[in-house]
């Protein structure tokens, strides 16, 4: 399978100027809020939030385990 396909769905580069919308408030997202916890050397936790409605859009844990 090509790296640009995902189980029958073709992926392509977004057009210049295209911005995602918040799935909750539907605002166009020119920026996102990120909150971090931890030093980042061993482990850092991050949440990604909509700056308009403050909804949680993503969560990740980065670092060594």
Domain boundaries, the chain: 31-65
Q: How many CB atoms lie within 10 A of CB 33?
A: 13
**Residue pLDDT, tens place only, 11-61:** 889 999 999 999 999 999 999 999 999 876 788 899 999 999 999 999 999
| Cα(25)–Cα(7) distance, integer angstroms | 30
Q: Choose between 21 and 65: higher pLDDT.
A: 21
Strand pairing category for 43-49 and 56-63: antiparallel
Q: Please report the pLDDT score of residue 57 as a whole number.
A: 97
Q: Determine the pLDDT at residue 59.
A: 95
Contact 20, 42 (CB under 8 A): no
pTM over 0.75: no
Residue length, the chain? 65
């Amino acid at each position: 399978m090509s790296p640009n396909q995902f189980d029958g769905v073709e992926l392509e580069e977004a057009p210049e100027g295209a911005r995602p919308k918040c799935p909750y408030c539907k605002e166009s997202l020119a920026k996102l809020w990120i909150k971090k916890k931890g030093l980042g050397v061993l482990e850092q936790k991050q949440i990604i939030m909509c700056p308009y409605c403050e909804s949680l859009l993503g969560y990740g844990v980065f670092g060594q385990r």
